[in-house]
Amino acid sequence: MYNAKAVIVGAVIFAALFSSPFWLNLGKDAYKRPDVVLPKNEKECVEPVEFMRAEHMALLNTWRDEALRNEKRVYVSSTGKEWNISLQNTCLKCHNDYANFCEKCHIANSVYPYCWTCHITPEVKK
C-alpha cells in the first residue's frame, strides 16, 4: 500500500466526523420535555401522571371503543374511582388549554392526533 498514511488519516477523520453527534451530546438529556402549562384547577387525573404521559392515547382509544362499540360509559381507574368515559366532559374539563397543553407536547413529539376531526378543539375561557 503506497498511501497507507493517507488511508489511516482519512479513516480517523471519517470516524471522528461520523461519531461527532454522539460525542457532542454526551451527558446531555436525550429528550427535552416541552414547557406545557398544567391545568390550574386540576384536582386529580383519571390515572397517575406517569401513566397518562406514556399511555393517554391508548387510554383514549380504549375509551372510544368501549363507549361507541360496547356502550360502556364508565371507566374504573387504578385507584378504584369511577369516571365518565368522555373526552369532552372528563378530560377537557381540566385540560382545556389546547395551545399550551396538548399542542405543545404533540408538536414537540411530531404527533398529529385525529381527535379533533370529531371533537371540538378546546379554547381557553377568558
pLDDT at 120: 81
Q: What is the pTM of this model?
A: 0.68
Residue 68, H or E segment: helix 49-68
pLDDT single digits (tens) 4-48: 889 999 999 999 999 999 888 887 776 677 888 888 766 788 999
Question: What is the rounded distance in angstroms from the CA atom of residue 70 to the CA atom of residue 73?
Answer: 9
**pLDDT tens-digit profile of 48-88?**
988 998 999 999 999 999 999 999 999 999 999 999 999 88
